[in-house]
Chains A and B, each alone.
Chain A
Amino acid sequence: MTIVKDEARLNPAPVPPARESGAGAPPTLRQYVSQLGYAAAGSEAGPQPRADRLRPWLVVAGFVVPLALLALWWFLTEFSIVPAHRMPSPQRVLDAAVAMTADGVIFGHIAISTQRVVLGFAAGSLLGLALGAWVGLSKWGSAFLSPTVGAFRAVPSLAWVPLLVLYLGISEDSKVTLIAIGALFPVYTTVAGALRHVDPHLVELGQAFGLARLGLLARVQLPAVVPSIVSGLRLALAQAWLFLVAAELIASSVGLGFLLVDSQNNGRVDRLFLTIILLGVLGKTTDALIGLLERWLLKRWG
């Protein structure tokens, strides 16, 4: 992970400003955060003007492939190279979107799916954080829990679906639980691993100044592993969407996964395409939100 402080982007001064000795060079500070949660930094001689000139083009480059794919899609359907019942034209997908927006149906599906993801993700990652902290920090916690948690993690998570449906029915609970299971393990694994490797010098420092247990956790250990927590959260969010679709495909009457099954059954290939695109957009959007959180957290704690 690399963060370039905003000022570096805002003031691409060709010559680094003269600074008082010792004060480093904050405007061009580049910060590297390792998996272990330590931050190390090196300041650069100055922003590279070449990289700065390239930046807009690099952003544009990201749009090239999607546009090419869109063109290919249009080409394939426009000239009926792929039959319409297998692949709808971009226009038909757009029409489907407009129609479903007009009668508001699509918003219901999006809302319920997002709600499930958010609830499951929140529950799973909090539990993962708690378990990870326990296992990562306490010798006994690790001795008691890590073999069991490891075994549970080894079960392919979709194997829980029939059991969850049997116990909790085709309810919100069963879906949110499944999503929580999916979100729990990435957070648990990264947090437990990172906490084991917090710089022992810093931990001892905290203890020397009277911190213990929760105080030590809050002031030294957790801040030291913030980068790992964030990458765990990112993985967990991706898992949450994955498990959402799995849960909704198997047992639901509303939601984007249900929309997929429903469209398949009704031969509405346009709606199928629309739903897939929506899932991509939603996943990317929530990931970007975590990205914002990450930037803020690393600025504060990095």
Chain B
Amino acid sequence: MPTTSTLTRTSAPALPVSLDRVSRTFRDTANEPKPVLRDVSLEISPGEIVSLIGASGCGKSTLLRQIAGLDRPTGGQVRIDGTAIDGIDQRVAVAFQEPRLLPWRSLRQNVSLGLPKGTARVEGQARVGALLDLVHLGEAAALRPRQVSGGMAQRASLARALSRGPGVLVLDEPFGALDALTRLKMQDLLIEIHSAEPATIILVTHDVDEALYLSDRVVLLGVDADAPSAGAGIRSITSVPGSRPRDRGDARLAELRVELLDGLGVPSHHQPQPH
């Protein structure tokens, strides 16, 4: 049931996302309200890459779930391309924090699950093949998830999200399970993919360097020190200078890194260098 024309395209144009005072309150086991997110407002322009960072448990995944329509905010609204989302939205593709591959399908079949409905068979197969090659899983396409490593599974999950050709791509710690080297390669890969098929990308990461290397803006989520039980909000938004691909050794990035680590409450042991 393609409700939007974006479903029939191989790759949709990047779409703007706006978070309008998004709040989410859960109920704890004693049925007491437990605010997790409070009044998160952010305008994300089409094709932008935004990273969310923040302490573990501060609500990053919860915010992504609101954007993907997997959960409904208890206050506020998420709009994609101007329309408020209501339930799971086919313009958004998600890669979850866990790979969530169907164990009875091969990697190839798992990736094709992401194809938009109504994709012609041949075209779909070609796209899946290309994506598998892109994430370096061409050789492993026929294997089942239990036969591959955690990093391979996570790459398959990324390829599945990409196969949708989404207007908005939501990635929850996409490279979290990868070793340091593969992680660097995958970051470059994501940049490559983004320039080939620009989607709006919102990603969660624990790695400040990764956030700075990949994104246009880095959003620090966290609770207000004065009202820690009120839920997390946006603590700071950092615009990253330069354009991709960036120089990993850029001194400006190093300065921002220190700021962000401080924001996360991690002492950076940074001594300003006398020139």
Q: Which residues of A contact B (CB under 8 A)?
A: 20-24, 26, 29, 31, 38-41, 201-202, 204-210, 219-220, 223-224, 226, 300-302
Chain A residues with Cβ under 8 A from B164's Cβ? 209
CA of A26 to CA of B96, assembled, Å: 27
For A207, give its contact among B88, B146, B148, B160 (CB under 8 Å).
Answer: B88
Q: Is B44 an interface position by the 8 A CB rule?
A: no
A223 touches B143 (CB 8 A): no
CB distance from B6 to the nearest CB of A (A): 12
CA of A168 to CA of B254, assembled, Å: 85
Among B18-26, B74-82, B98-106, B260-268, the stretch that binds chain A is: B98-106
With CB as the reference atom, state the residue of chain A lying closest to B94: A208
Chain B residues with Cβ under 8 A from A201's Cβ? 96, 98, 100
B103 touches A205 (CB 8 A): no
B152 touches A22 (CB 8 A): yes
B143 touches A23 (CB 8 A): yes
For B96, give its contact among A23, A205, A210, A219 (CB under 8 Å).
Answer: A205
For B104, give its contact among A23, A24, A207, A301 (CB under 8 Å).
Answer: A301
For B147, give its contact among A29, A208, A300, A302 (CB under 8 Å).
Answer: A29
A302 touches B113 (CB 8 A): no
Q: Is B70 an interface position by the 8 A CB rule?
A: yes
Beyond A202-B100, A223-B104, A301-B104, 11 extra complex contacts between A and B, CB < 8 Å = A20-B139, A23-B148, A24-B148, A29-B146, A41-B146, A41-B147, A202-B102, A205-B100, A208-B68, A209-B93, A219-B102
Chain A residues with Cβ under 8 A from B176's Cβ? none
In chain B, residues 143-165, which have Cβ atoms closer than 8 Å to a Cβ of chain A?
143, 146-149, 151-152, 160, 164
A38 touches B148 (CB 8 A): no
B140 touches A23 (CB 8 A): yes
Q: Is B51 an interface position by the 8 A CB rule?
A: no
CA of A210 to CA of B160, assembled, Å: 13
For A210, give its contact among B90, B148, B151 (CB under 8 Å).
Answer: B90
CA of A201 to CA of B100, assembled, Å: 7
CB distance from B28 to the nearest CB of A (A): 19
Q: Interface residues of B toward A: which range?
A: 20 to 34
Q: Is B233 an interface position by the 8 A CB rule?
A: no
B94 touches A24 (CB 8 A): no
- Top 6 A-B pairs ranked by shortest CB distance? A24-B147, A22-B149, A301-B104, A205-B100, A41-B146, A39-B103
In this complex, the member of B102, B139, B152 whose beta carbon has the largest number of chain A beta carbons within 10 angstroms is B102
Pairs A–B under 8 Å by Cβ, sample size 23: A20-B139, A21-B149, A22-B140, A22-B151, A23-B140, A23-B143, A24-B147, A26-B147, A29-B146, A39-B146, A202-B100, A202-B102, A206-B113, A208-B68, A209-B113, A209-B160, A209-B164, A210-B116, A219-B102, A220-B102, A226-B104, A302-B103, A302-B104
With CB as the reference atom, state the residue of chain B lying closest to A205: B100
For A208, give its contact among B88, B102, B151 (CB under 8 Å).
Answer: B88
Q: Which residues of B contact A (CB under 8 A)?
A: 68, 70, 88, 90, 93-94, 96, 98, 100, 102-104, 113-114, 116-117, 139-140, 143, 146-149, 151-152, 160, 164
CA of A24 to CA of B143, assembled, Å: 9
In this complex, the member of B68, B88, B140, B143 whose beta carbon has the largest number of chain A beta carbons within 10 angstroms is B88
Chain A residues with Cβ under 8 A from B98's Cβ? 201
CB distance from B48 to the nearest CB of A (A): 22
Chain B residues with Cβ under 8 A from A24's Cβ? 143, 146-148
A23 touches B147 (CB 8 A): yes
CA of A219 to CA of B103, assembled, Å: 12
CA of A20 to CA of B151, assembled, Å: 14
CA of A220 to CA of B113, assembled, Å: 11
CA of A105 to CA of B102, assembled, Å: 52
Chain A residues with Cβ under 8 A from B96's Cβ? 201, 205, 208
Chain A residues with Cβ under 8 A from B143's Cβ? 23-24, 26
Chain B residues with Cβ under 8 A from A23's Cβ? 140, 143, 147-148
A210 touches B146 (CB 8 A): no
CA of A301 to CA of B103, assembled, Å: 8
Chain B residues with Cβ under 8 A from A226's Cβ? 104
Chain B residues with Cβ under 8 A from A302's Cβ? 103-104
Chain B residues with Cβ under 8 A from A223's Cβ? 102, 104
CA of A205 to CA of B95, assembled, Å: 9
With CB as the reference atom, state the residue of chain A lying closest to B152: A22
CA of A201 to CA of B157, assembled, Å: 13
CA of A31 to CA of B145, assembled, Å: 13
CA of A31 to CA of B104, assembled, Å: 12
Chain A residues with Cβ under 8 A from B104's Cβ? 39, 223-224, 226, 300-302
CA of A24 to CA of B96, assembled, Å: 23
In this complex, the member of A209, A219, A226 whose beta carbon has the largest number of chain B beta carbons within 10 angstroms is A209
| With contact pairs A24-B143, A39-B103, A39-B104 given, residues A210 and B149 touching in the complex (Cβ less than 8 Å) | no
CA of A97 to CA of B87, assembled, Å: 68
| With contact pairs A23-B148, A24-B146, A207-B88 given, residues A38 and B140 touching in the complex (Cβ less than 8 Å) | no
Chain A residues with Cβ under 8 A from B88's Cβ? 207-208, 210
In this complex, the member of A20, A40, A210, A302 whose beta carbon has the largest number of chain B beta carbons within 10 angstroms is A210
CA of A205 to CA of B114, assembled, Å: 10
Chain A residues with Cβ under 8 A from B149's Cβ? 21-22
